[in-house]
Structure 1
Amino acid sequence: MTLTDAAGLCGVLLILVAYAAAAAGKLDPQRPASLAANLVGAGLILLSLAKDFNLSAAAMEGAWALVSLAGLVRIGWKRLRR
């Protein structure tokens, strides 16, 4: 297993754990911890795709990262406005 493979698997695990925790009601999907887990997870998967590129997977993970980042920016913006 290469380092990029390991990074991708860690990213998948991070996203799945966050999703399972949200589905079980243990983690609010709109809170920073969940959004950060999704952003980091997607970033790790994108890193793994740098070695073995797959356009559809890169598009999915890029979108996943952007949605997570947008949520974090929204939270940050709300905190700044207070």
Structure 2
Amino acid sequence: MGIELAWNDWVGVTGTLMALLAFYLLQAGRLSGTGIVYQLLNLFASLGVLVSLFGKFNLAVFLLEGAWGAISLYGIGRTLRSRRPPTSSPLA
């Protein structure tokens, strides 16, 4: 009597473990909350949990993980924009 997991369940479990790892590393001071690694871990974690919903849909989890992924994308964009060298204006 073992647990049988479909491929999408394994992806969801992996996503959950990634979210927990990101949170642990943040709390342990090993990652910065504004760092790209933390944000990517959160993005891929949310995508993994969203993939798990292919097996059995859950609206609450969908909304949570969709928002989590969107916020992660925003953070990634913000981080990448802040790393660009400032452009100089020819009129300045």
Deviation of residue 81 (structure 1)? 4.7
Match of 2:29 among 25, 29, 32: 25
Q: Which has the larger radius of gyration?
A: 2
Alignment: residue pair count: 82
- Identical-residue share of aligned pairs (%): 32
Task: Give unmatched runs, 5+ long, in structure 1.
Answer: none
The TM-score with structure 1 as length reference comes to: 0.94
- 1:11 and 2:35 equivalent? no
Equivalents in 2 of 1:16, 1:29: separation in Å? 14
Task: Give unmatched runs, 5+ long, in structure 2.
Answer: 87-92
Equivalents in 1 of 2:52, 2:85: separation in Å? 37
Structure 1 residue aligned with 2:40: 36
Match of 2:50 among 46, 49, 69: 46
Runs of 4+ in 1 over 4 A off after TM superposition: none
| Matched position secondary structure for 1:53 | coil
Equivalents in 1 of 2:29, 2:53: separation in Å? 31
Structure 1 residue aligned with 2:90: none
